[in-house]
């Protein structure tokens, strides 16, 4: 080992932990760390450092310990690693291969700590006190191998006898007379007293200490002390058998004997005859051990009360009772009621008395083995015997064919059917009668019966658990189903193939749900099987793994199949609001299976209703009867009205005011004018749900189209031909023109009114009207975007310019012919272009300015997409396309920060 250093260690940890930290810091094995304290090597890693604190070392806060620290060399570390990992026998063999005297002390200490018997194989190390201390601390008997000098060393002796008191045997003679050493030895093992000197064996102090630890140490005390009442009392209280080693004077002392038999009743054998006749002592002894009656005096054995107390505790004590009491029916009955074999100790006159034998049979049927044949041949006795204990049939072969006797026996124990005659075991009715009491009765049926399908079906209908004993039918679907029908748990007796058969298990599950827990475990790893199972009964999911029941994706599938499976999902999933929301939106009925309805606040439920209105029907009656909640539900989803079930006209009107389309779910109210008016004022489209009569009602129809012009589609035909009725509608929404009569769609003014809000309304005009150029001009002047829906007029310059004047976006619908006309494009640029100087531009309306910009952007887009247009424009006005002009205007910012075209100058990309 190299140089050592002082280190400070916090005492609030174990030595092993401190070593580990040092080993990690220096990058060496833990065994490569060597620590000493006060020149003592520290090897026990379980040692608490706090135990090493010396006075004066506790002054620091927190307390710290000063240790000597060093690193072991590689060879020593390797030796220690080997020693700490091998058994004691291997330690001895390993040491035999090493030069003992060249080994370090640390290695020797590790060896004797691991195998104390190695102390005899380490030569002069036996003289090293620290080495010997390490050995005897682990096995005190290693003191035998220490040097003679150390066998006298007090510290070594105290360590050895504290570990094993018998180590006192190997102490030096003088040490065995040391009161301090002996006190420690007998405190560890009382009988270590045998190894001390005669003087100490006559000393009350060590003897009392020894017998209080082990009462049998009394045998090693001096004769004088074995006659000492206090010493003997102490011994017999610890071990009653110690009375054996007391002197006669104590064996005759009632107090001593009473304590001895209180500890061990049969210690009475060592008491003096006077004490064995003492009623109090006998009572104590018999109470502790009934068989102590054996050592009572003849007077005691004749004491009826004493004998009764004994036989009630152990019937076999009858053997030691006086002959007169063994003839006493009361005593004998008490004995056989406790132990049937006590009957053999009864007097001959009572031994084979019917009543006595039956009482004995109830305790031990084997007493019949010795019964006389005349008794065993008595039918009335046989009947009573098998009713008391069915197994008695085994000892009554004369009645093996007697139906009544056998049936009575089987009612007690079906196993006795094996002792019935072959004739009775071939009787189906008798076997079935036996099956009512025990399913194992089928085991004893004749083979001709157990191979008969009809009998087996009958047997399973009587007792389904008989399947457990019918191995040949455990693969038979019909038989197993019959058994499962009676008791689902019987599926556990089916063959592995059937318990793995999905179709069979599900068929059985449908008739007996409890059978599923006995299906093959692999089935519950199959999602498809579980989904089929929960379709039949949700409890099937309770047998699935935690992973399955916590899988949101699978649980949503299962809930869709059977909403009740929600209650079998994991607690975490049931508490997950997001999951519950998804489940309820998918399958609203899941709400009926939420344990704590208080979790379902109004906002949460309304969010669900917004997706699935039928969720309303799955809520508690109290929530559905709440009108305020009902109105909020209808507001979120009109169809909720269908499921609320609130028969209140005022409520219905409020609901229709909130959501007119709820009229679709208002039932009879669809024919009620007040209700319908309320609905169409909220939503004109609700007119579609009104009765035919109300869709022809002027007030209702007018209210509907005022609310929504598109409701025109639902009014009666008579209103669709009424120009005054339809004009306000198409003015408000041109798309309503779709629903006026064909005749009115040819009304030029009506079409123009529609175009003001919907350029597409032009498509609804008849072709005869759309073919009139004058009308088309009026149309595009009304709605420039209607240019999209005209025909050849898209190439008509006048029509196009009218459209562009109304809506610059119509530029995109210019006909192909005009697109290729550079003259037309130039006219457009001249008409809608802006001057190069913003300041010279007249103060015009911003909308007009933006209108012109849109035109110019359209022209620019056309120029970018078609180079031929640019070429043509250059031929029209080449001077406008000079490089200087391009450079002047390229980066000029336009409205809203966008680059635009100024004047007739088109900036090329």
**DSSP track, 804-868:** HHH-GGGGGG--HHHHT-HHHHHHHHHHH---S-GGGS----HHHHHHHHHHHHHHHHHHHH-HH
Q: Is residue 274 part of a domain?
A: no
Could you say which DSSP state residue 751 is in?
A: H
For CA atoms 542, 547, 550, 556, give the dihedral sign.
Answer: negative
Domain boundary among 802, 819, 836: 819
Q: Mark whether 414 and 504 lie in a shared domain.
A: no
Radius of gyration of the chain (CA): 56
Of 111, 127, 143, the domain-final residue: 127
Same domain, yes or no: 468 and 514 = yes
Tell me: do 850 and 864 sit in the same domain.
Answer: yes
Enter the DSSP assignment of 796.
-
φ/ψ of 137, rounded to 5, equals -65, -25
pLDDT tens sequence across 593-623: 988 776 788 899 999 999 999 999 888 877 8
Report the pLDDT value the prediction gives residue 61, as an integer from 0 to 100.
59
The string of DSSP codes covering 703-714 is HHHHH-GGGGGG
Note down the domain range covering 49: 1-72
Q: Give backbone dihedrals phi and psi of 646, rounded to 5 degrees, phi first.
A: -95, 110
Name the residue among 815, 811, 816, 893 with its Cα closest to residue 859. Answer: 811
CA distances from 896 to 300, 836, 838, 893 (A): 128, 17, 14, 8
Closest CA to 726 of 742, 737, 714: 737
pLDDT given for residue 880 in this prediction: 45
Concatenated DSSP letters of 299-332: HHHT-HHHHHHHHHH-GGGGGGS-TTGGG-HHHH
Nearest CA to 528 out of 489, 496, 561, 499 is that of 561
Q: How far apart are CA 703 and CA 711, in angstroms?
A: 10
Clarify whether residues 780 and 831 are in a common domain. no
* Residue 67, beta-bridge partner list: 7
Domain total in the chain: 6
Does residue 248 contact residue 274 with C-beta atoms inside 8 Å? no
Q: At what angle do helices 846-865 and 867-876 cross, to 10 degrees?
A: 110
682 in a domain, yes or no? no
pTM: 0.52
CA distances in angstroms from 411 to 249, 416, 424, 441, 807, listed in the order given: 62, 10, 15, 10, 106
Distance between CA atoms of residues 401 and 382, nearest Å: 13
If asked whether residues 420 and 390 sit together in one domain, one would say yes
**22, 38, 73, 594 from 35: Cα distances, Å:** 10, 10, 14, 65
Give the H or E element holding residue 221. none
Are 812 and 827 contained in the same domain? no
What element of type H or E holds 456? Answer: helix 453-462
Q: What is the 3-state secondary structure (H, E, C) of 1-47?
A: CCCCEEEEEECCCEHHHHHHHHHHHHCCCHHHEEEEECCEECCCCCC
The answer to whether the beta carbons of residues 841 and 834 sit under 8 Å apart is yes
Query: Which of 500, 519, 538 is the endpoint of a domain?
Result: 519
Q: Are residues 487 and 498 in the same domain?
A: yes
Alpha-carbon distance of 618 to 609, in angstroms, equals: 11
Please check whether residue 624 lies inside any domain of the structure.
no
* Maximal CA-CA distance, the chain: 157
Are the beta carbons of 215 and 239 closer than 8 angstroms? yes
Q: Is 97 helix (H, G, I), strand (E, B) or coil?
A: coil
User: Do residues 37 and 94 both lie within one domain?
Assistant: no
Domain assignment present for 651: no
Check: CB of residue 232 under 8 Å from CB of residue 249.
Answer: no
What span, in angstroms and rounded, lies between the C-alpha atoms of 252 and 597? Answer: 82
C-alpha to C-alpha distance for 285 and 191, rounded to whole angstroms: 26
**432 and 461, same domain (yes or no):** no
| CA–CA dist 324, 326 (Å, integer) | 5
| Closest to 11 in 3D by CA, of 59, 74, 43, 73 | 59
Q: 236: burial class by Cβ within 10 Å (0-12, 13-18, 19+)?
A: buried
| Residues 901, 840 within the same domain | yes
Residue 773 counted as domain residue: yes
pLDDT of residue 853: 63
In a domain, 332, yes or no: no
- Evaluate whether residue 554 is within a structural domain: no
Kind of pairing between the strands at 64-71 and 33-37: antiparallel
Q: CA-to-CA distance for 609 and 644, rounded, in angstroms?
A: 11
Q: Give the CATH number for residue 32.
A: 3.10.20.90
Show Cβ contacts of residue 51 under 8 Å, excluding neighbours closer than 6 positions.
none
Judgement on whether residues 24 and 59 belong to the same structural domain of the protein: yes
- pLDDT recorded at residue 907: 37
Three-state helix/strand/coil letters over 662-701: HHHHCHHHHHCHHHHHHHHHHCHHHHHHCCCCHHHCHHHH
Whether 756 contacts 726, CB under 8 Å: no
Extract the residue ranges of the chain whose pLDDT is less than 70: 1-5, 11, 32, 39, 43-45, 54-62, 598, 832-909
Looking at the fold, whether 909 and 836 belong to one and the same domain comes out as yes
Domain assignment of residue 671, yes or no = no
Pick the closest to residue 667 from 658, 656, 657 (CA basis): 656
Give me the pLDDT at residue 443, please: 86
Collapsed DSSP state (helix, strand, coil) of residue 889: helix
């Amino acid at each position: 080992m190299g140089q050592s250093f002082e280190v400070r260690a916090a005492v609030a940890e174990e030595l092993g932990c401190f070593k580990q930290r040092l080993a990690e810091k220096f990058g060496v094995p833990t065994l490569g760390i060597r620590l000493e304290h006060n020149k003592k090597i520290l090897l026990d890693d379980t040692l608490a450092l706090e135990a090493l604190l010396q006075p004066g070392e506790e002054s620091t806060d927190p307390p710290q310990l000063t240790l000597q620290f060093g690193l072991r060399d590689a060879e020593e570390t390797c030796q220690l690693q080997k020693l700490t990992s091998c058994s004691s026998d291997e330690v001895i063999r390993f040491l035999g291969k090493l030069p003992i005297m060249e080994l370090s002390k640390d290695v020797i200490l590790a060896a004797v700590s691991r195998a104390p018997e190695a102390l005899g194989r380490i030569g002069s190390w036996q003289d090293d006190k620290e080495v010997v201390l390490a050995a005897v601390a682990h096995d005190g008997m290693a003191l035998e191998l220490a040097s003679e000098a150390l066998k006298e060393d007090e510290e070594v002796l105290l360590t050895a006898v504290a570990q094993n008191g018998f180590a006192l045997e190997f102490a030096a003679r003088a040490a065995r007379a040391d009161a301090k050493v002996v006190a420690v030895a007998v405190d560890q093992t009382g009988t270590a007293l045998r190894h001390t000197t005669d003087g100490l064996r006559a000393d009350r102090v060590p003897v009392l200490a020894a017998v209080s630890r082990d009462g049998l140490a009394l045998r090693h005390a001096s004769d004088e002390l074995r006659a000492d009442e206090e010493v003997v009392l102490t011994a017999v209280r610890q071990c009653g058998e110690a009375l054996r080693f007391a002197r006669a004077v104590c064996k005759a002392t009632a107090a001593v004997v009473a304590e001895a038999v209180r500890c061990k009743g049969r210690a009475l054998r060592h008491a003096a005859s006077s004490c064995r006749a003492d009623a109090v002592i006998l009572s104590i002894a018999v109470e502790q051990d009934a068989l102590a009656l054996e050592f009572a005096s003849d007077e005691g054995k004749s004491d009826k009360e004493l004998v009764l107390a004994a036989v009630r505790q152990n019937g076999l004590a009858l053997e030691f009772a006086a002959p007169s009491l063994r003839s006493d029916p009361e005593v004998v009955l008490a004995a056989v009621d406790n132990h049937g074999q006590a009957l053999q100790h009864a007097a001959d006159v009572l031994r084979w008395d019917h009543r006595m034998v039956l009482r004995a049979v109830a305790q031990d049927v084997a007493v019949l083995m010795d019964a006389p044949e005349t008794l065993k041949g008595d039918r009335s006795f046989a009947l009573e015997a098998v009713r008391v204990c069915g197994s008695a049939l085994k000892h009554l072969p004369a009645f093996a064919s007697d139906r009544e006797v056998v049936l009575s026996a089987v009612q007690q124990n079906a196993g006795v059917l094996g002792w019935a005659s072959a004739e009775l075991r071939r009787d189906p009715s008798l076997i079935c009668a036996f099956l009512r009491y025990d399913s194992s009765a089928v085991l004893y049926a004749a083979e001709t019966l157990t191979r008969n399908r009809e009998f087996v079906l009958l047997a399973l209908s009587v007792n389904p658990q008989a399947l457990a004993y019918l191995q040949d039918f455990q693969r038979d679907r019909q038989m197993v189903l019959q058994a499962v029908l009676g008791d689902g748990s019987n599926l556990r007796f089916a063959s592995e193939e059937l318990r793995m058969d999905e179709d069979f298990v599900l068929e059985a599950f449908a008739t007996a749900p409890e059978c599923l827990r006995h299906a093959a475990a692999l089935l519950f790893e199959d999602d498809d099987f579980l989904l089929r199972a929960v379709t039949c009964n949700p409890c099937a999911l309770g047998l699935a793994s935690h992973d399955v029941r916590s899988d949101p994706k699978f649980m949503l599938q299962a809930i869709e199949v059977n909403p009740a499976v929600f209650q079998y999902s994991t607690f975490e999933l049931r508490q997950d609001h997001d999951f519950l929301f998804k489940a309820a939106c998918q399958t609203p009925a899941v709400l009926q299976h939420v344990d704590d309805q208080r979790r379902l606040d109004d906002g949460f439920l309304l969010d669900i209703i917004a997706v699935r209105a039928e969720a309303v029907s799955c809520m508690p009656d109290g929530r559905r009867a709440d009108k305020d909640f009902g109105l909020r539900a209808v507001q979120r989803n009109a169809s909720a009205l269908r499921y609320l079930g609130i028969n209140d006209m005022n409520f219905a009107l409020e609901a229709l005011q909130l959501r007119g389309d709820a009229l679709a779910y208002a039932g009879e109210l669809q024919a009620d004018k007040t209700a319908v008016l309320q609905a169409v004022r909220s939503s004109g489209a609700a007119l579609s749900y009104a009765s035919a009569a109300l869709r022809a009602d002027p007030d209702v129809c007018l209210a509907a189209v005022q609310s929504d012009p598109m409701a025109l589609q639902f009014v009666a035909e008579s209103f669709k031909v009424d120009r005054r009725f339809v004009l306000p509608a198409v003015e408000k929404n041109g798309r309503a023109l779709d629903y006026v009569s064909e005749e009115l769609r040819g009304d030029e003014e009506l079409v123009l009114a529609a175009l003001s809000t919907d350029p597409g309304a032009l498509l609804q005009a008849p072709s005869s009207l759309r073919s009139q150029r004058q009308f088309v001009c009026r149309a595009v002047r009304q709605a420039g975007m209607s240019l999209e829906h005209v025909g050849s007029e898209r190439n008509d310059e006048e029509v196009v310019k009218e459209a562009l004047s109304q809506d610059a976006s119509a530029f995109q619908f210019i006909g192909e012919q005009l697109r290729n006309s550079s003259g037309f494009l130039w006219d457009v640029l001249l008409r809608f272009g802006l001057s190069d100087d913003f300041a010279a531009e007249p103060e015009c309306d911003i909308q007009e300015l933006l209108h012109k910009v849109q035109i110019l952007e359209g022209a620019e887009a056309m120029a970018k997409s078609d180079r031929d247009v640019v070429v043509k424009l250059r031929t029209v006005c080449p001077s406008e396309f000079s490089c200087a002009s391009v450079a002047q205007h390229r980066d000029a910012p336009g409205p809203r920060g966008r680059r635009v075209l100024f004047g007739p100058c088109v900036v090329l990309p």
